[in-house]
Amino acid sequence: LRGCLSDPGRVPLDWWNQLSVAAPRSLHGDWLVLPCRHCGPRPARSHHCRSCDRCILRMDHHCPWMDNCVGLQNHKFFLQCCLYGASAAA
């Protein structure tokens, strides 16, 4: 249940203004900035989810059973759900 309700690690809409980077595809410290066709600039290792219509940090996939993306902040809860489900089925 917690995997369904927790935030998957969405990229804040104003993160680009906080970095003050001039050009996309540039290296700024540890941040590699890439373009997103829908959201604008996005950090490296983030992907755009068509179902959620947002860029998600370290996105794994959009889970239809949880109706949520599996990303940086809820990956642990997704794995727990899979393990509990597998152990209950065994």
The answer to whether 48 touches 39, Cβ cutoff 8 Å, is yes
Q: What does the CA dihedral 61, 66, 69, 73 come to, rounded to 10 degrees?
A: -110
Strand partners, 42: 34
Active-site entry in 63, 69, 81, 82: 63
Active site residue 63: yes
How far is the CA of 72 from the CAs of 25, 45, 90, in angstroms?
A: 22, 10, 29
| Structure tokens given for 25 | 């595809």
Q: Annotated catalytic sites, by residue?
A: 63
